[in-house]
Chain A
Amino acid sequence: MSYPRADDADICLLLEGTFPYVSGGVSSWVNQIIRAFPEIRFAIVFIGSRADDYGSMKYALPDNVVHLEVHYLYDFTTPEKNPKPRHGDTVAFEGVDRLHKCFRHAGSPDPALEAFRAIAPEILPGGSLPEGDFLHSKEAWEIVSKGYREQCTDPSFVDYFWTVRIMHAPLWKLARIAHALIPARAYHSVSTGYAGFLGALLHQIRKRPLILSEHGIYTKERKIDLFKSEWIRDNRNVFQRDPTELSYFRQMWIRFFEWMGRFCYEAADPIIALYENNRLRQVADGARPERTFNVPNGISLKRFAPLRALRPATPPPVLCLIGRVVPIKDVKTFIRAMRRVVNQLPEAEGWIAGPEDEDPGYAAECRNLAESLGIADNVKFLGFQKVDELMPKIGLTILSSISEALPLVILEGYAAGVPTVSTDVGSCRQLIEGLEPEDRALGPSGAVVNIADPQALADAAIALLGDPAAWQAASQVGIARVERYYTDDLMFAHYRRVYEKALAAEDD
């Protein structure tokens, strides 16, 4: 597969696990933004885990994407054969040691950020801290064994050693990407994490502005994964375990992503959130408040308004969850809620419209759950669907997620006249009940329920589907709300200003 190539670009988008290989809210947003600015030449750096985790592109590349690079962090190149004993650069390793001391030091993050700025350029090709030294030098071994002796509360050194290796290995890969990347006049990352780290590196070596737009809060989502993940070992025995403590390796991973986020926040300006709570979260995680502001998502009314005419007179008894089948969407709660919905409205159906390839294990669990609840016939897994075709056939959009930002699906449903029942996460309450007094005066455009409460979710859905008048009212409110506050024109105007400022900036 050949990708477009160019010698330079205006804006370079740094995308981790999203557009164009994964479909979903963030990807559609990226697609929207690129197409909204045909005069800007975009480059894209896609960062993924392993090539096998992704299929073909889910989006056609817009014409103004002049350059695309695809990198996989965990596709390791063949390791060095028979590495020789070697010494690393003592000054560089002292810097590494100092940086880690600063990480552990509670209080102001400034010393750590400074130590990071000093050491970061050294991992670039030609620097004094090459990957080989990290993997094979005596100094690296000493730092790792010292870290284990002084800090690690898990007894297994082997696990500690490999955790350190696997955790840090992608940083050199990112450094190589940064080194070889074509010049751009500004960098735009859509998350912190690895893409954000790459952005911070690029900002430091290329002296061009880094824009950060966060949809979900990456660090927080990583934490959810890490709290739940079962692959992280805990080797403490019953006498060593403090029941109130997370396993050390889990804490290591959490801290790793927290600091990756910090580095990115430190380099980025502006830092854009979708809504106020997320902005506050960014500030709490280390973003400077004066650099942050909110730009809510917006959607194209032109595309969705005609769908309203296609709706049947009474709402179809179909509850539809539109989204990837992944744990964060808590599809299982939706399936459980369907058990009650079917008890009350036997003809009701629950549709799950979204790709299942991202977490096949979870998708299988969901299917098994539907089976064990005896509602395999009422719950349909449709795979990826075109939203435009789906909307006229459904009665409600359902969001059972445990974490969201400002979901496009709700807005798209509103524009097509479909009310929503959603969990109280991200800005969903604001989307359903309104934010400012005028917005609230419109009334509710659906219902909000607590997370992981299938009973409440089912009752709210039954209340709307079973009462055509209430459903019509919610549908009308949804239409009014999206037309007034969440159009793409508003969003593009904001980003036009952001891009103009970044492109016009002098070199730092």
Chain B
Amino acid sequence: MFRSKLILAALAFESSAWSSLALGSSSDRVLLLFLAAHAASSALIASFAWALLPSRMARPRLPVLLFLFGMGFTVPLLGFVGVVAGVHYLRLLPPRGRQERFSAVELPEIDVHLGHGTGFRQAGMRAFLANSAAPIASRLRALVALQNISGRVASPLLRDVLTDPSEDIRLLAYGMLDSKEKHLNEAIHQQATRLHDAPPDSAERLDATRKLADLYWELVYQDLAQGDLREHALRQSLGYTEQALASAPDDAALHLRHGRLRQSLGQPLAARAAYDRALTLGMPKTRIIPYLAEVAYDLNDHAGARALMRELGDWQSLPRLRPVIAYWNRT
């Protein structure tokens, strides 16, 4: 509405300008009148055309207005037609995409093989695995993650899910437990063969015996044997440890193992003797005292256990035992 008024006003001014010239008078006053009317008309047509321009061409405002005005003013009649036609033509053109500016960048140092991570970071593994309502796929991934965790921690978790309702979970857990066990049993078989073939009293014989003691203990330590099998593994390990001790009676580490085995088999007195021997052979106190305290506890000697734990209180190097030490040091 406003625009049509603009153009009507412009036409009115222009026609009055020309009509004043057409009267034939050639005085300066008439020329001035014509120029004034023509300028007003040009200004109106310029603002009319400016309003129609696509916004990206309408800036900066003043120069564009001046240009349009100049066209209309300096080229009478044709200038008007040109400005209007030009604006109309511009409106028909498809908008041109802005020019993108490219610049070279360095390739980021990302390992492409890391691309498809699942980002599974679950705390509380046991609770999560035991939750049979959780999506199977996430639980499977949680299980797979257990592959990189030591057997002592992973085995009980894996055994827990052997009774899971989902067969996939059960089977994966079984497979992982089985392969841990398989590796140990393979090693046991190798060392047993080696022991069998070694000449008596040779260094090789002693080495194989020690390794067998270690491997059977490992079955227990990684919690891979339960019940009678655990007992069997303990007795095997004990047998080999005693054989090794016969050849190397002053080995403190062997005495410590001997004590652990005796203790696990429920023989606290024999265990204590072995621990004492390890101590006299120079095994650091921090390693032996917690076991001695355990033996004292097993024997219902609570005062003894407390005395031992108090002794430990002076040592700062046992962060995992701190709560236990703190408990026993309370008076």
Query: Is chain B found bound to chain A in the same assembly?
Result: yes
A contact set with B: CB distance below 8 Å: 149, 151-155, 220, 223-224, 227-228, 230, 236, 239-240, 242-246, 281, 327, 330, 332, 336, 339-340, 343, 365, 368-369, 371-374, 402-403, 450-455, 458
When the two chains form their complex, are residues B118 and A245 in contact, meaning their CB atoms are under 8 A apart? yes
Contact of A374 with B232 in the complex, beta carbons under 8 Å: yes
B116–A458 CB distance below 8 A:
no
- CA A402 – CA B172 in complex, angstroms? 11
Q: Would you call B250 an interface residue if the criterion is a C-beta within 8 Å of the partner chain's C-beta atoms?
A: no
How many A-B contacts if CB must be within 8 Å?
Answer: 103
Known interface pairs A224-B171, A244-B120, A246-B144; A452-B178 also in contact (CB < 8 Å): yes
Q: A61 CB to closest chain B CB, in angstroms?
A: 35
| Cβ–Cβ contact B114 & A240, under 8 A | yes
Least CB distance from B318 to A in Å reads: 29
Of residues 109 to 124 in B, which have CB atoms within 8 Å of A's CB atoms? 111-118, 120
A240 to B185, CA, bound (A): 31
Asked if A153 and B114 sit within 8 Å, CB to CB, the answer is yes
Q: Which segment of B9-17, B21-29, B162-170 sits at the interface? A: B162-170
User: Are B177 and A455 in contact (CB-based, < 8 A)?
Assistant: no
Whether the Cβ atoms of A403 and B171 lie closer than 8 Å is yes
Q: In residues 213-256 of chain B, which contact A (Cβ within 8 Å)? A: 226-229, 232, 236
With both chains docked as a complex, state the minimum distance between the C-beta of B195 and any C-beta of chain A, in angstroms. Answer: 12
Q: Is the CB of A242 within 8 A of B118?
A: yes
**A-side contacts of B229, CB under 8 Å:** 336, 339-340, 373, 454-455
Q: Which of B72-80, B186-194, B288-296 contacts A (4 or more CB under 8 A)?
A: B186-194
Output the least CB separation between A230 and chain B (Å): 8
> Of the candidates B115, B145, B174, B228, which one forms a contact with A402 in the assembled complex, judged by CB atoms under 8 Å apart?
B174
How far apart are the CA atoms of A229 and B181 in the complex, in Å?
A: 14
B179 at interface, CB cutoff 8 A: yes
Q: In the bound complex, what is the Cα–Cα distance between A329 and B166 (angstroms)?
A: 19
Does residue B266 face the partner (Cβ distance < 8 Å to A)?
no
- Evaluate whether A452 and B189 lie within 8 angstroms (CB atoms) in the complex, with A243-B148, A339-B229 already known: no
Of chain A, the residue at the smallest CB distance from B215 is A372
Is A455 a contact partner of B144 (Cβ separation < 8 A)?
Answer: no
| Pair B228/A340 contact, Cβ less than 8 Å | yes
A-B contact pairs, 22 of them (CB 8 A): A152-B113, A153-B114, A153-B115, A153-B116, A220-B167, A223-B168, A227-B176, A242-B118, A242-B120, A244-B118, A244-B141, A245-B144, A281-B167, A340-B228, A340-B229, A365-B182, A372-B189, A372-B192, A402-B170, A452-B162, A454-B226, A458-B228
Considering the complex of A and B, which 6 residue pairs feature the smallest CB-CB distances, nearest first? A244-B141, A455-B227, A340-B228, A244-B120, A228-B175, A368-B189
| Closest CB in chain A relative to B118 CB, distance in Å | 6
**A contact residues around B177 at 8 Å (CB):** 452
A-facing mask of B92-128, CB < 8 A → 1, else 0?
0000000000000000000111111110100000000
Report the separation of the CA atoms of residues A401 and B185 in the bound assembly, to the nearest whole angstrom.
Answer: 20
Bound complex: CA A344 to CA B262 (Å): 23
Contact of A365 with B186 in the complex, beta carbons under 8 Å: yes
CB pair B112 A149 closer than 8 Å:
yes
Indicate whether B6 reaches chain A with its CB closer than 8 angstroms. Answer: no
**Closest CB of chain A to B36's CB: distance in Å?**
74
Q: Which of B111, B163, B175 has a CB less than 8 Å from the CB of A239?
A: B111
Contact B162 A450 (CB under 8 A): yes
Does the CB pair B114–A227 fall under 8 Å? no
Q: Does B142 contact A (CB under 8 A)?
A: yes
B118 touches A155 (CB 8 A): no
The residue that B179 contacts in the complex, of A228, A339, A454, A455, with Cβ under 8 A, is: A228
* A458 cross-chain contacts in B, Cβ below 8 A: 228
Contact B168 A240 (CB under 8 A): no
User: Given A227-B175, A228-B178, do A240 and B228 touch, yes or no (CB 8 Å)?
Assistant: no
